[in-house]
Amino acid sequence: MTGAPVTVPQVVVFDLGKVLVDFDYAILVRALALQSRLSAEALNQFINQSPLLLDYEAGRMTTPEFFAAVQSGTGYTGSLEELGRLYGTIFSPIAPMIALHARLRAQGVPTFIFSNTNALAMEQIRADFPFLSQFDGHIYSFEHGAMKPEAHLYEVVERITGRAGDAIAYLDDRPENIAAGSARGWRAILHADPAHSIAALREMGLPV
């Protein structure tokens, strides 16, 4: 007696950071230290380990408000445009995953971005990584006032993709985000490296 046939996911949802593009906030912190009154260590604490970035990525602050907070908290002397350019230097492409996405698109599989991020970062990533425009849709935390793994943001994904449950394959590098997807019946893959994620998608029956 055989089991029920395995459903092939109808859409693939990608996290962005550490899945399609890598990032290193230490690059930004070192650059900011040259134009502020704080040390690199203190800057990292201020930006990366305080509520500031969380509030910005959750859409509770606008970009001008975030910039004003950085100025007042660090003494940063550069312009908002300079800060944006510095932000752009922290990102680098993960080539095998970008190629994976291209193969899915070539086979007609709908794809979506689902990311905790902010407006300043996305402005730079859109400019530097043209592949981003090739997705069917983008769900960003700052645009919806919620952060993964909050359920509301997963509901937004289901609404925008028009899919739910095992019709969604989902790749993310954060265990708590994957757990939230799995709880909704998504075919969730904890991304560790490209080879593992590609093999997992292939096992689901996707044309990778």
Q: What does the domain layout of the chain look like in residue ranges?
A: 11-23+91-203, 25-88
Closest CA to 163 of 185, 142, 145: 185
pLDDT band at 2; cut points 50, 70, 90: very low
Average pLDDT over residues 38-47: 90
Q: Is 93 helix (H, G, I), strand (E, B) or coil?
A: strand
Integer Cα distance of 95 and 115 in angstroms: 18
pLDDT band at 196; cut points 50, 70, 90: very high
Over residues 136-151, the pLDDT tens digits come to: 999 999 999 999 999 9
- Residues 52, 32 contacting (CB under 8 angstroms): no
Query: Around 40, how many Cα atoms within 13 Å sit in the side-chain half-sphere?
Result: 8
Closest CA to 178 of 194, 191, 193, 166: 191
Closest CA to 15 of 151, 169, 156: 169
**Dmax (CA) of the chain:** 71
pLDDT band at 162; cut points 50, 70, 90: very high
Q: Tell whether the model's pLDDT for residue 4 goes beyond 50.
A: no
Q: Give the whole-number percent of the chain exceeding pLDDT 90.
A: 91
pLDDT band at 76; cut points 50, 70, 90: very high
Please give the pLDDT value at position 42. 93
Integer Cα distance of 87 and 69 in angstroms: 16
151: Cβ contacts below 8 Å, ≥ 6 apart: 180
Integer Cα distance of 66 and 127 in angstroms: 21
| Reported CATH class of domain 11-23+91-203 | alpha beta
Over residues 79-102, the pLDDT tens digits come to: 999 999 998 899 999 999 999 999
> In the chain, where does DSSP find H-type helix?
25-33, 40-48, 51-57, 63-74, 80-88, 95-106, 119-128, 141-144, 151-161, 175-183, 194-203
Please give the pLDDT value at position 109. 98
Please give the pLDDT value at position 1. 39
pLDDT band at 49; cut points 50, 70, 90: confident
Q: Tell whether the model's pLDDT for residue 36 goes beyond 60.
A: yes
pLDDT band at 38; cut points 50, 70, 90: very high
